[in-house]
């Protein structure tokens, strides 16, 4: 800061200058006494707004404000925004420009508040909202939000026309809002799936009004509930649909895949990978079919959907190539077979 006495005819040898600093962030006042000019205020905090009297008013008049942020529509009727935390300019007002898809429909407002009533705009129409902060006539950086005006908090979120069908054993669902007069631009649909076997609950938020539950597990019971949710602020959930109890159609296991094999001279032990929890239909048998050469099997009944299973094949000839199929049976039937081959080892001299 630099300054001088307006009249220096008699000099300033006995003059001390009092500089008063008002920290607006903490609302504290400090007096500094100096005998010389200029001075540098090194101990002020970054991004802190201070009042230094009329001498700083000149720089505030040329201050360019930062853009506002967190622009949002509250309760379908109010456009709101926030001032930047590190704003150093004194904001005197905000220019708000609103325009829609129709170029002829524009609205322009000047406000000192950080909100604006927009209840006159049509619900579920897309609008552009541009907010420009102003400091003593100096326009700052503009911010624009393009969005639709959401449904009001009291909108009817009841569901109707819920339809269930099966597609390749999976449950297919379709539904709609009971009242679509206002549209559904801010609505998502919360589908709650309760897996009764595992006692787990998953929530899916959907924009579309249909879904095929292809990821559900065969031979498993599910309780399914649907409801509409207005995702605008404040978030409002509609009434639940009637619970749908559904069991995924039983399905045979996919063909097992080789995981490990322990080969000896007259036998081998085979380990294969199964579907595990992806198919909960009760398992029965693992079969290794070597045609006229051998057949070996092991019971899988009572096991809790294992991911692997093993079987041992004995009484083979040394140094011989064997071809065979591996398949698994569950309550829905036999899987497709996996074709494998094993070369037994030579007999050890021992």
pLDDT tens per residue across all 350 residues of the chain: 777 776 666 666 667 777 787 777 677 777 777 777 777 776 665 444 444 444 343 355 689 999 999 999 998 999 999 999 899 999 999 999 999 866 568 999 999 999 999 999 999 999 999 999 999 999 999 999 999 999 999 999 999 999 999 998 899 999 999 998 989 999 999 999 999 989 999 999 999 999 999 999 999 999 999 999 999 988 999 999 999 999 999 999 999 999 999 999 999 999 999 999 999 999 999 999 999 999 999 999 988 878 999 999 999 999 999 999 999 999 999 999 999 999 999 998 76
- Architecture category of domain 159-247 in CATH: Sandwich (2.60)
What does the pLDDT read at residue 55?
38
Give the 3-state secondary structure of residue 350. Answer: coil
Which are the contacts of 106, defined by CB distance < 8 A and separation ≥ 6? Answer: 97, 98, 99
- The 3 state secondary structure assigned to 151-214 is CCCCCCCCEEEEEEEEECCEEEEEEEECCCCCCCCCEEEEEEEEECCCCEEEEEEECCCEEEEC
Q: How many CB atoms within 10 Å of residue 48?
A: 13
Residue 51 has what pLDDT? 46
- In CATH terms, is domain 69-148 a member of 2.60.40.10? yes
Domains 69-148 and 257-343 share a fold: yes
The reported pLDDT for the residue numbered 310 is 96
Distances (CA, A) of 91 to 114, 141, 143: 11, 12, 15
Q: Where are the domains of the chain?
A: 17-60, 69-148, 159-247, 257-343
Rg value, the chain, Cα:
38
Enclosing H/E stretch for 59: helix 54-60
Class of residue 177 by CB neighbours under 10 A (exposed 0-12, middle 13-18, buried 19+): buried
pLDDT of residue 326: 98
Supply the pLDDT for residue 56.
40
86 in Cβ contact with 107 (< 8 Å): no
CATH class of domain segment(s) 257-343: mainly beta
Smallest CA-to-CA distance from 89 within 111, 61, 109, 116 is with: 61
pLDDT in the model for residue 57: 39
């Amino acid at each position: 800061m630099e300054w001088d006495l307006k009249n220096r005819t008699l000099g300033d040898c006995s003059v001390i200058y009092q500089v008063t600093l008002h920290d607006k962030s903490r609302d504290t006042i400090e007096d500094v006494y100096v005998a010389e000019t200029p001075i540098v205020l090194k101990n002020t905090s970054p991004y802190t707004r201070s009042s230094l009297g009329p001498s700083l008013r000149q720089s505030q008049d040329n201050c360019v404000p930062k853009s506002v942020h967190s622009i949002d529509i509250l309760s379908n009727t109010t456009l709101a925004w926030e001032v930047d935390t590190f704003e150093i300019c004194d904001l005197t007002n905000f220019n708000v420009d609103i325009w829609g898809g129709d170029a002829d429909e524009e609205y322009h407002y000047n406000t000192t508040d950080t909100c604006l009533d927009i209840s006159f705009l049509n619900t579920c129409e897309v609008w552009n909202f541009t907010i420009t902060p102003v400091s003593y006539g100096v326009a700052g950086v503009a911010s624009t939000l393009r969005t639709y005006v959401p449904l009001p908090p009291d909108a009817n979120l009841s569901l109707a026309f819920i339809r269930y069908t099966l597609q390749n054993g999976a449950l297919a669902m379709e539904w709609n809002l009971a009242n679509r007069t206002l549209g559904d631009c801010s609505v998502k649909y919360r589908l709650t799936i309760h897996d009764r076997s595992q006692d787990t609950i998953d929530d899916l938020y959907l924009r579309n009004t249909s879904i095929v539950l292809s990821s559900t597990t065969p031979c498993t019971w599910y309780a399914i509930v649907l409801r509409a949710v207005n995702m605008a602020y404040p978030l409002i959930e509609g009434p639940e649909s009637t619970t749908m109890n559904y069991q995924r159609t039983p399905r045979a296991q996919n063909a097992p895949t080789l995981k490990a094999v322990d080969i000896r001279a007259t036998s081998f032990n085979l380990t294969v990978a199964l579907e595990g929890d992806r198919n909960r239909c009760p398992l029965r048998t693992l079969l290794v079919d070597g045609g006229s050469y051998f057949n070996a099997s092991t019971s899988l009944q009572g096991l809790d959907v294992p991911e692997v299973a093993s079987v041992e094949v004995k009484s083979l000839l040394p140094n011989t190539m064997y071809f065979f199929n591996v398949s698994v049976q569950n309550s829905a039937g036999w899987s497709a077979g996996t074709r494998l081959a094993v070369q037994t080892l030579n007999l050890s001299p021992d």
